[in-house]
Amino acid sequence: MHYPGAVPGYCPLNFGRSSGAYYAGSSRKMNCKIPTKYILLHGKCVIAGMRRTNPNARTTVGIPVTKYIRAVEAEDGSYDGKFVFGRISDRIFCKPSCGVFERGSGEIRIFSGAYEAKSSGYLPCPQCSPDAPSAKQKKIETVEKICDYIRQNPSSNLSLADLERQFGMGKYSIQKMFKEVMGISPRKYVEECRIMLLKRNLRNGEPLPGAVYKTGYNSQSWLYEDPSSKLGMTPSSYRKGGEGAIINFLTAECSLGFLIVAETEHGICALSIGDSEEALEKGLRDEFPKAILTRSEKVRTRINSVLNYFDGQRLSLPLDVIGTDFQMRVWSALRTIPYGETRSYNEVAGMIGMPKAYRAVANACAANHVPLIVPCHRVVRKDGSMGGYALGTHRKKFLLEMEKENAGREQTGS
């Protein structure tokens, strides 16, 4: 027999039954006997019962399937914001913590979020307001606005008092919220933004006094307190890296499009993959506007090493990269992630001793100019999903699958 209301590819979860098994349409459009408790996720049959299923199996949003049932049964507020459930009877969707839905009152459908529920024709519950931003989301949105304001005013030397006046919040509340979300203080973030502005000014050939003044400082003493931690080298060396520096580069076709590798006398300073050689070369000139860029066969050995990486060989090349102290710490940590494995942004933050700075870690990954050598593609979200990637998520997916396959082949000796 068919379970009432079941259609191919859709398996509702029924709290009204306590034992036995029923027939229902499966995602393969064929009848299959499954336990009483089962759920629908993204139109696919996902068994959630404790019997005849792996209790550790995970859904596409990274939560073990049995936990969906337990969360709704227990009205567990810790899952609010991670998924919503829709009541099939009246097509209303709620938070897991909503007390309106009673056990045994009907079937539910699981959605990854409010947008997906609304797209499927469900309306938000007027009591629990599942489409309203959670307290955590409100904090994140507020901090994002603060970050935007700091980035737009990097030379203003913003203090907590300035942020307090701008956003109408207590400065200690701002400090606590910012550190909770970003893992670093507003003062540290302000300094990182000012260093990035200083780097741009020096790269554009600005004399050091003028470049420092444009960051909001009246004296160079701030910079010379510990110049290597701010720029990765002394200011004069950094400026020379942009003006008159000799950078050789070469392009080649690879599995993911076109590849460009550029190096100084000290090591690789840039690596990128794109859809055309012209775009890659333009990007290199934009990054080093005052350098002497030369297409040269001297880079052939380096670029062949990168091409061999796509054939399964390990990639280890000398680098000549510049970043802030925080960025350099993140990039060093990324190079310790084993080939064929991944780490979450949270785990990388823990690796550098700043477990709450996972958002700042993501920013450091985005600022990486030598992907593959500094393998930022091996960093994924906490739920296992890929997250962003400057070279494109399709390339990130390819790289992760390639490395996993090659590593598995090596382990089996095939």
- Active-site residues: which are they? 94, 376
Contact 237, 221 (CB under 8 A): no
- Cα radius of gyration rounded to whole Å, the chain: 26
Query: For residue 235, what are the contacts with CB-CB under 8 A and spacing of at least 6?
Result: 202, 208, 220, 223, 224, 227
Distance CA 371, CA 383 (A): 23
- Residue 94 to residue 80: CA distance in whole angstroms: 9
Q: What is the sign, positive or negative, of the torsion defined by CA atoms of 307, 308, 313, 318? A: negative
Structure tokens at 9: 């590819």
Q: Do the Cβ atoms of 146 and 181 come closer than 8 Å?
A: no
The string of DSSP letters for 137-149 reads HHHHHHHHHHHHH
| H/E run at residue 125 | none
CA angle 63, 69, 70 (to 5 degrees): 90
- The encoded tokens of residue 105 equal 């009152």
- Encoded tokens for 145: 């606005």
Residues 163/186, Cβ–Cβ less than 8 Å: yes
Give the count of beta carbons closer than 10 Å to the beta carbon of residue 376: 27
Backbone conformation region of residue 77, classed left if phi is above 0, alpha if psi is from -120 to 50, else beta: alpha
SS (H, E, C) 16-27: CCCCCEEEEECC
Query: Residue ranges of the alpha helices (H) in 37-134?
Result: 65-74, 114-119
Residue with tokens 């392009």: 251
DSSP state of 10: B
